[in-house]
Every structure is written in structure tokens, then in C-alpha cells.
Amino acid sequence: MKYSTGQIVTLLNTEYKPAGRAVICRYEKNSHKYEVDFIYPDREKADKITVPEERLILVSDYVHS
């Protein structure tokens, strides 16, 4: 588990480009994926979505790239 609950990360879209910020909710051990709260650009309320670890980066990692 690379990220912890409550941590703010950058979610990458399926083309691995930044899609926005997300908050880690939990880690799913069996699938090695994270459930995150993410607000889609056209919405006001966060949705819980499940994404693989490789589509998440720390905000500071993105700034230094």
C-alpha cells in the first residue's frame, strides 16, 4: 500500500494525463486498487471510484516532474 486514507493525490486519466485531485478512501488488497473520492469536472459532488495504483501520483511528484 503506497498511499494512506485521507491523502490527497492526483488522479491520472486513462491516457495518464492529470485529471484532477482525489482523496484516498481505502485500499482494496485483493485487486491492488484504491477507492478514491473524485469530483468530475462537470459535477459538484464527489464520486467514489476505484482506480489502479499506477493512475495515482502524489501532488508533489507531479510538481517536480
Domain of 41: which CATH number? 2.30.30
User: Number of structural domains, the chain?
Assistant: 1
63 pLDDT band (50/70/90 cuts)? low
pLDDT of 9-20, one tens digit each?
A: 999 999 999 999
Asked whether residue 1 is domain-assigned, the answer is no
pLDDT of 20-44, one tens digit each?
A: 999 999 999 999 999 999 999 889 9
pLDDT score for 36: 98
pLDDT score for 64: 52
Asked whether residue 20 is domain-assigned, the answer is yes
Asked whether residue 31 is domain-assigned, the answer is yes
Cα 58 versus chain centre, distance: 9
Cα 25 versus chain centre, distance: 9
Asked whether residue 33 is domain-assigned, the answer is yes
pTM of structure? 0.85
Asked whether residue 57 is domain-assigned, the answer is yes
Cα 35 versus chain centre, distance: 8
Segments forming the whole domain that contains residue 36:
8-64
